[in-house]
Each structure stands twice: as C-alpha cells, then as structure tokens.
Amino acid sequence: MKTVISFACAVCFVALASSLAKAQLSAEINSVKSWSDYKEPLEPRTIPMALVEAGTPIYLVTHNEFSTKYIKTGMTICLYLKFPVKVEGYKVIPSGTPAYCKVTQADKPHGNGRAGYIEIEPLYIKVSPDEVLPLTGNPLVSMGRDREALGMIVAQGGMAAAGLMNQAQGMIDTKKEKRRAMQQQQGYQEAQQQAMAMGFSNIKLAQPAASQAVQGPGGLSQVAQTLNIVAPLVGLLIRGKHAVIPQGYILNAYAGADTWVEMKD
C-alpha cells in the first residue's frame, strides 16, 4: 500500500514539475517577444556647440555695389560671410551666412568739388533665426574722387582772368588818354598858327586843360566785374564723385564677444 502511494506521489511530482517547466518556458518566450517590442524613452537630443571667442577674425564680402547715390546715414545693409568660421577644425558658421552692417555716415558730393563719403561698421552675423554673433572692428571708409581742386581752379582762374581784363582795360584807357591829349595839343597848335596868320600875333590862346579820365568802365572792365561774381558760383557747380563700395569688397571684422554657436559639421 505504501508503495502505491509513493508511486502516485512520484507521478504527481513529475507532472507538477513538467507543468512548471512548460509555464517557465512560455513565460520566457513571452518575455523575449515583449522585449523585442520594447522601446526606451527618448532622451533630449544633445546639440554640439562650439565657443567662438571674442577677437576671432571674421571676413565679410559685398555681393552688391553700395553708393552714396542711394544709401543714407542710419541704414542697415547686408553683407555675407566670405570664409567659414572654424573652431578647432570644425565648421561653426558656413560661408554665405548673412552679416549686417550699419551705415554710420553717408554724404553725397557737394559743390566746390567735394567728393562723397561712406562709412560703415559691422554689427552682427545671423547664425540662426534667434541667434546672432556680435561683430566689432574698424569702420570701412570709402571716398569718391575729390574735384575740389578743379572747383578752386575754376573760381581762381575766373578771378585771375578778371584781374587781367582790368589791367588790359587800364592800358586801353591810358592809351586813349594819351591820344586825346595829343589831339588836343595838335588842335591848340593849329589854332595858334591860324591866329598868327590872321595878324593876331599878340593873341595867345589858352593851353588845353588836362585830359579827364574816361567816364564809366570800359567793356573789359564790365566783363571783369561779371567774372568776379560768376567765377565763385561756377566753382560751386562743380561736384566731386560719389563714394562707392564695389561688389566683392572684403571687410575685415572680429567676433565682438564670446558666443556659443551650434556646430554645422
């Protein structure tokens, strides 16, 4: 009897062990399947950043011509990065990135031959829609061709010509006075001779009075007066050339402050 009970217990134990083994195997299979579908929670993407130190050389280039014909003081103009900015061999800011400069002074040409003048200062590079790299550096200055000397020559030349005309008119007036005095003297002598021929030897005609200066300015003097007035005005009409910053001109600037920017490589 004890043998039968022991055998039955052994059979039950084997059956239980087999069931446990099957259950464990099924759990392992299900576990493997569930792990294959498991996805870890996403972590925030880390963006590599690089520090552009203050004083880093920055080269900007003009894609258009800028002239005092149309730009004014206070305007902001767009240039572009000529060469990429690199930090430890990695490209930080690519070439062609927009850079902005301010027109601090723009003077159009003036009279008397004075030329136009442009002065611009770098402001910043637009690194991203909400990020900029401040810039600093010496202002870029451009001047047109000065024609002030030509204006002065015209004005002074006109005045000098007026002086020469006055001198010439004086010489002409002097010659006229001499000729008039000679004519008066000759007329006196002829009248004296006629009086003596008529028997009036005791009559002595009065000597002609000294010749009076010619009244009123001569033609050259009038022209000279006109030149003295007009010549300075003509000089005012002579203007210098417009100041121009040509296309492709390179402006040397520097990073104005330590700035973290996203790496492009």
- For the residues of 198-215, what is the DSSP string, one character each? TT-TT--PPPPPPPPPPS
Q: Where are the domains of the chain?
A: 49-146+242-262, 148-188+217-238
CA–CA gap between residue 46 and residue 42 (Å, rounded): 12
pLDDT of residue 96: 92
Provide the whole-model pTM.
0.51
pLDDT of residue 88: 85
pLDDT of residue 74: 93
CATH class for the region spanning 49-146+242-262: mainly beta
Q: What averages of pLDDT result for each successive group of 10 residues across the chain (265 residues)?
A: 50 56 57 51 68 92 89 93 89 92 87 77 89 89 60 48 52 61 61 59 53 46 51 49 85 91 74
pLDDT of residue 31: 56
- With vertex at residue 95, the alpha carbon angle to CA 89 and CA 100, rounded to the nearest 5 degrees, is 125
